[in-house]
Chains A and B, each alone.
Chain A
Amino acid sequence: MTSLQATEAAEVMERTRKRERSVFRKLIKNRLAAFGLFVIALLFVTAIFAPVIATHPPNQMDVTKSLLGPGEAGHLLGTDSYGRDIFSRLIYGSRVSLIVGIAAVVFGAFFGSFLGVIAGYFGGKFDSIIMRIMDGLFAFPFILLAITLMTVLGQGLVNAIIAIGIANIPGFARVVRGQVLNVKESEYIAVTKSLGAKHSRIIFQHVLPNSFAPLIVYATMSVAGAIISEASLSFLGLGIQPPTASWGSMLQEGRNFLVLNPHMATFSGLAILITVLGINLFGDGLRDALDPKMKL
């Protein structure tokens, strides 16, 4: 590497670092985004330290103590119809939400980006075939596609991840394809090409890194959507298998005891709402910090 290239590389790195710092500063300054970040951090802490935070084992039943109100007999938020501690189940439920939310989006982002890059970069037949299929998938309302897939795959955590992940593919393919089309037109890609760079090198070193900002914003927002979808599936009895605590299935159980014990349904829904709100706020802030003109 010549010294000129070395200084150039150092400059680029310095610029990237500065940009990263300013993005983080902007995020913290934005009070709503900071609140979102706080909620996300809280979610991670809860999920990781669930055994420490929970006051009872989440699946421990005690029929003599069923449907207790908040604060009764040492149960912070009361108990459900099987006498299980609602607070502990909510704490453990964060694991399901977080795992499904992130894994489904990673799944969708991986395959979606792959298809989007191929469609956008190579264009032509690849583009029309891939995007036609994506249009076809887009014709299904998100939740309906997930429901149909779950019906076929059957209940379970992994299947929920696959179903919601597949439903996420067309969105990522579209976003990445759009970005690739933008980047592809730029002069420096033309220069790199004329220097004889391989397709894989251009894609991985130049095209993808430049599509990163919108991709990360879109992924953040998608996690919120995936968490709602998991809760919806579990609410419909198509998601996580009982007795594993999921916020959606807790809400479904609580619905049957709405008159006797309304707080069961109330708290699980609040957990979903606050989590999703936090992620959305963070996503909004991230978009504004990275590029306020981004259309997502």
Chain B
Amino acid sequence: MGKYIIKRIINMIPTLLIVAIIVFLITRMIPGDPAAVMLGPQASVQEVEKLTEELGLNKPLHIQFFDYIGNLLQGDFGNSLTYNQPIADLIMDRFPNTVILAISALIIAIMIGVPAGIISATRQNSILDYTVTTISLIGVSMPVFWLGVMLVLYFSVNLGWFPSTGMGSMDEGFFTFIRHLILPSLTLATIPMSQFARITRSSMLEVVSQDYVKTARSKGVREFIVICKHAFKNAFTPLLTVMGLQISSLLGGAVLTETIFSWPGMGLLIIDAIEKRDFVVVQGTVLFIALIFVVVNLVVDILYKVVNPKINYSSNKGGTS
């Protein structure tokens, strides 16, 4: 197990390097002079030259790249022009907010999606099953930004139950905090919730007809225990895979949700920075999210192995990290 973890961490290094290269190259794809584009049309020649110097854009590309990697290794993501702050600080200010939103969404998605899937599978072809299947089908096709706007329309504008934007700080009381959190996290939870329901249903259906479940039943084990303990335990692995994938899109897909609800997270930071043409911030934040994704994936893979020790990873030649 320890060996496996070490092997996976070593395997992660080339992926991280490639991620950094991709981000570096994408930002070098900006047509024309990046410094001029960032400063806007009203900037003077001197200003553009000064920024070019500051960003090291006048150096050869490979030198720029090594400088970039060298700085990254020291945790230096560069400095923002528009925010007048180190980008690492900007990200660290916003990251907890994104995590709060992502975790709330994940909790909602698991608490509703998984039981819905189990109920749906145990009462196959009942009205309840059809309801869950239909709703989850609509859920996975949902444009979340539209859902967010509609929730604002009904629950903030029409009913006035929840605030439509911003994040309540804990200082204003727990209740304010929760009131701000509900609509964004519901919006963000919709797609993972629907996917959890669908995947739980299908993997439960595969399991409940198997012999060992029948045996448990015939032994007189209570139905509730049969479903929750015997069946669900074995239906859990595919669910874990989907959860791992969803965590990444919760952190990254929050761009839209955060924009709609003006939630001060990393997604909103990216969109703000794009509007201000502060590409260095965009570059740093995108890179940070990708790094988080790689690490989260590693953790999920290790968990996978803990839950299901029989899986042999040596036969899995690359490709799926």
Q: Give the contacting residue for B253; candidates A143, A151, A248; CB below 8 A.
A: A143
B: residues with CB less than 8 A from A are 14-15, 18-19, 21-23, 26-27, 29-31, 137-138, 140-143, 145-147, 149-150, 152-153, 157, 248-249, 251-253, 255-256, 259-260, 270-271, 274, 279, 282, 286, 289-291, 293-294, 297, 317-321
A286 contacts chain B at the CB level, 8 A cutoff: no
Contact status B137-A280, CB under 8 Å: yes
Contact status B282-A151, CB under 8 Å: yes
A254 to B153, CA, bound (A): 11
Chain B residues in 8 Å Cβ range of A277: 137-138, 141
Chain A residues in 8 Å Cβ range of B293: 139-141
Chain B residues in 8 Å Cβ range of A153: 29
- Asked, given contacts A132-B14, A148-B286, A251-B146, whether A141 binds B252 with beta carbons under 8 Å apart, the answer is yes
Contact status A144-B255, CB under 8 Å: yes
Contact status A127-B318, CB under 8 Å: yes
Contact status A149-B256, CB under 8 Å: no
Contact status A224-B141, CB under 8 Å: yes
If over half of A's interface residues share one DSSP class (helix, strand or loop), that class is named, otherwise mixed; here it is helix
How many CB-defined contacts (below 8 Å) exist between A and B? 137
A247 to B174, CA, bound (A): 38
Contact status A269-B252, CB under 8 Å: no
Contact status B152-A258, CB under 8 Å: yes
Chain A residues in 8 Å Cβ range of B26: 148-149, 152
The residue on A at minimum CB distance from B292 is A139
Question: Mind listing 15 A-B residue pairs with CB under 8 Å?
Answer: A131-B319, A132-B318, A133-B18, A135-B319, A139-B15, A139-B297, A140-B290, A141-B289, A251-B146, A254-B149, A255-B149, A255-B260, A258-B153, A266-B153, A276-B142
A142 to B245, CA, bound (A): 11
Chain A residues in 8 Å Cβ range of B31: 152, 154
User: Which of B141, B249, B253, B318 gathers the greatest number of chain A CB atoms within 10 Å?
Assistant: B141
A42 contacts chain B at the CB level, 8 A cutoff: no
A272 contacts chain B at the CB level, 8 A cutoff: yes
Q: Give the contacting residue for B149; candidates A132, A142, A269, A273; CB below 8 A.
A: A269
A196 contacts chain B at the CB level, 8 A cutoff: no
Within 8 A of B (CB), among A109-162: 127-128, 131-144, 147-149, 151-154
Contact status A135-B321, CB under 8 Å: yes
Contact status B249-A142, CB under 8 Å: yes
- Asked, given contacts A139-B15, A140-B289, A265-B153, whether A152 binds B29 with beta carbons under 8 Å apart, the answer is yes
Contact status B149-A131, CB under 8 Å: no
A105 contacts chain B at the CB level, 8 A cutoff: no
Contact status B152-A136, CB under 8 Å: no
- Asked, given contacts A132-B18, A148-B286, A151-B279, whether A143 binds B256 with beta carbons under 8 Å apart, the answer is yes
A228 contacts chain B at the CB level, 8 A cutoff: yes
Q: Give the contacting residue for A136; candidates B21, B138, B143; CB below 8 A.
A: B21
